[in-house]
Amino acid sequence: MYVTTSRNVSNSTKIFAYNLANFLNSVYEHRGKKSIEEVMARAEKLGFNRIIIVSEQKGNPRKLAFIDSEKMEWLFPFIIFSVPTEYTMRKIRPINKEVEMSTSSKSKEKAEKAARIASLFSLPQPYSDDTVKFIISDNKLEFKYKDIKMKINVLDLLERKNNPADDSDN
């Protein structure tokens, strides 16, 4: 998984993206002025086929967008979220552990929503028991490794808008 940001983001968004990459045992790179095509090429060069782009609103991290760089397409839904300030103020130390992902929910509808979110991350099964725990529910993403943790509040899922041009026979 390759993690980057949208263009011209605040330091708090960069720190959040860095922390997210650490929990996902991924690579974070500042985007700068790279186009989406350049971001995909960079991810491919590093051996990643899944990209997370962290966008912001009013200087705070707010949206996770996903790209499948092999298929060169956006993956939906995008995740609209809020995150406590403590996860945007200081960088965590690198963890360098595999990620064990699980879902948690109390109803079938919420379980389906959690499963859709989980599919966006496309993480391999870990080979070790010493892993970062990544727990996905319909309204929260939680990362835990020993005494280090991060919680992301899922506010909404942004679905693809139907574009009439996509439905044409041209």
pLDDT tens digit sequence for 64-76:
999 998 899 999 9
How does pLDDT run across 91-143, given as a tens digit for each residue? 999 999 999 999 988 899 999 999 999 999 989 899 999 999 999 998 999 99
Supply the range of the domain harboring residue 148.
2-159
- pLDDT at residue 164 greater than cutoff 80: no
Could you tell me what percent of the chain has a pLDDT over 70? 94
Q: Is residue 165 part of a domain?
A: no
In a domain, 167, yes or no: no
DSSP per position, 101-141: EEE--SSHHHHHHHHHHHHHH-PPPPSSSS-EEEEE-SSEE
State residue 162's pLDDT score: 60
- For residue 164, being part of any structural domain is answered with no
Count how many domains the chain has. Answer: 1
The CATH number of residue 146's host domain is: 3.40.50.10480
169 in any annotated domain? no
